[in-house]
Structure 1
Amino acid sequence: MNPLRCLVLPGMDGSGAWLDEFAAAMAPRLPVEILAYPPQRALGYDELVDFVRPHLPQAEPYLLLGESFSGPIAIRLAAQRPPGLAGLVLCASFASAPSLPGSPLSTRTLARLATALPLQYLPAALAAPLLLGRWRTPERIERLQGLLHSVAPAVLHHRLREASRVDAEAALAAIAGPLLYLRAERDRLVSADSLARIRTRVPSLSEVALDAPHFLLQVRAAAAAQAICAWAAALPTRA
């Protein structure tokens, strides 16, 4: 029997650079591959699905993990029922444009506002309360600044616009395998409505809630790895 592995599709930055601690926490039980997106190319969801598809493992069983922005990509790929896919994991993510918890602003409005901002000059300290919450430290804010600077501003703007108008909910009905949702209880970007809408389409999904901000995999790497590995251990074995 081939060992299970995990292919991770990263969040809005697309680099997966801050997923090293999560990969290390997973490594003793599930090897992780993080697929980075082109940092200088403004690819939409359709193009990113096409970009990821050839990278799906062909000869071994695997989990597909969509973090935040990448949830719709992972959902659409899982709906195609590729061979070897043992399960889908969504982390602080959504199938359709998410709403902001406790805010009158829609993500579409937020995306329009962000388009006017020079993101290459945006201090990470301003984004840290949304992404890191009470877990922000000088070291983590510095690392967040590195993420913001690693991607072309036009690419970040494009991804924000894509997330503000995406709708992959119909694809959820075509997913045949198990689905795990990791919910960040202190998420300030993706409200609980996103999980509720996914559950409507996939009532059998499993949910694990962690005391964490939107950057769940970065801040609670060990807890996230433990939850995923425990869920994966109970999946049907595949040859």
Structure 2
Amino acid sequence: MTTQLPVLVLLPGMDGTGDLFAPLIRALGGRFETVVVRYPLDEPLIYPELLTIARAALPASRDFMLVAESFSGPIGIALASEPLPGLRGLVLCSTFARTPRPGIARILRNVDVIPMNATLIRAGLAVMLGAAADGKLRTHVARTVRRVPHEVLRARMRAVLEVDASDLLALVRAPILYLQASRDLAVPASAAAHIRTIKHDAQLVRIKGPHFLMQVRPDAVAAEIARFATAVV
């Protein structure tokens, strides 16, 4: 089965490590070959530079699907807008084409330094993990995010507040699946609505869970990815 299905190219959230895909990869149960894209931890790179890194990770001679989580949505969209012969589909999970919080973006537009400290990060992770996450998962996520320097997280957060890949989204010809977390306090439902305004045929699946959907509900996410991948082969 693995040779018949596309390779899944996994584009990570704001931590960029790719380590938080572990629950999803386990839930996929070996049905797919996966390529985990990892962004540098030692440089505050933003979307154009990270797009180059992601593009270099694409399989050269295999069919593949892009799976973009949260922060990487605009990167997945940008890649899918390119003429990539092997691309079979784009999965967007808890993510956006343009900044999901324009009100916050306007407030911080003239702020040189986005607030970033351990207390704020812990609070943010607690909100994005929700009440259903167990202690082991919370520890794993916290340890992963702590590895990322604050200046790198700050640069990526600023990039999110400024991004707009709507024009690129309009160029995407591959099928799109959007996985929406029902209790996402980071990316509002309007982000999915905006994507479907541009791509009317994008599939929308709502899964009960928080922003960290791939970590808290990996079985449900894996099932939807498998269903979508089987349909587009």
- TM-score computed with the length of structure 2 as normaliser: 0.92
Query: Which residue matches 2:116?
Result: 117
Is the CA contact (8 Å cut-off) linking 1:6 and 1:32 kept in structure 2? yes
Change (3 A) 1:164 1:124: closer
Tell me the distance in 1 between the aligned counterparts of 2:52 and 2:18.
Answer: 19
Secondary structure of the corresponding residue to residue 43 of structure 1: coil
RMSD over aligned Cα, in angstroms? Answer: 2.0
What number of residue pairs does the alignment pair up?
230
What amino acid does structure 2 have at the position aligned with 1:94?
F
Structure 2 match to 1:219: 216
Q: How is 1:17-36 mapped onto 2 (pairs within 5 angstroms)?
A: 17-36=19-38
Q: 1:123 to 1:136 in 2, by over 3 A?
A: farther
Distance, in Å, in 1 between the alignment partners of 2:60 and 2:137 is 36
Partner of 2:75: 73
Shift of 1:137: 3.2
| Counterpart Cα distance in 1 of 2:120 and 2:98 | 28
Q: Secondary structure at the match of 1:57?
A: coil
**1:171 and 2:168 correspond:** yes
Distance (Å, rounded) in 1 between the aligned partners of 2:126 and 2:112? 18
Aligned with residue 204 of structure 1, among 196, 201, 205: 201
Deviations 1:66-91 (A, max 9, x none): 10000000100100121200000000
Inter-partner Cα distance in structure 2 for 1:114 and 1:26: 40
Query: Which sits farther off after the overlay, 167-176 or 46-55?
Result: 46-55
SS in 2 for 1:60: coil
Equivalents in 2 of 1:2, 1:136: separation in Å?
34
In structure 1, runs of 5+ residues without a counterpart are none
Partner of 1:8: 10
Correspondence for 1:39: 41
Runs of 5+ consecutive residues of structure 2 not aligned to the other structure: none
Q: How does 1:25-174 map to 2 (within 5 A)?
A: 25-99=27-101, 106-107=104-105, 109=107, 115-118=114-117, 121-122=118-119, 125-174=122-171
Task: Give the partner amino acid of 1:106.
Answer: I
Give 1:196 shift. 0.8
Aligned amino acid, residue 158 of structure 1:
A
Task: State how far apart, in whole Å, the 1-side matches of 2:69 and 2:106 are.
Answer: 20
Instruction: Find the aligned partners of 1:15 and 1:140 in 2 and give their Cα distance.
Output: 16
Distance 2:60 2:52 in 1: 16
TM-score normalized by the length of structure 1: 0.89
Share of identical aligned residues, percent?
Answer: 35
More displaced 10-residue stretch of structure 1: 160-169 or 13-22? 13-22
Q: Secondary structure at 1:182's aligned position in 2? A: strand
- Aligned letter for 2:21? L
Instruction: Give the drift of 1:184.
Output: 0.3
Change (3 A) 1:137 1:214: same
SS in 1 for 2:209: coil
Amino acid at match of 2:115: A
| Counterpart-to-counterpart distance in 1, 2:93 and 2:48 | 20
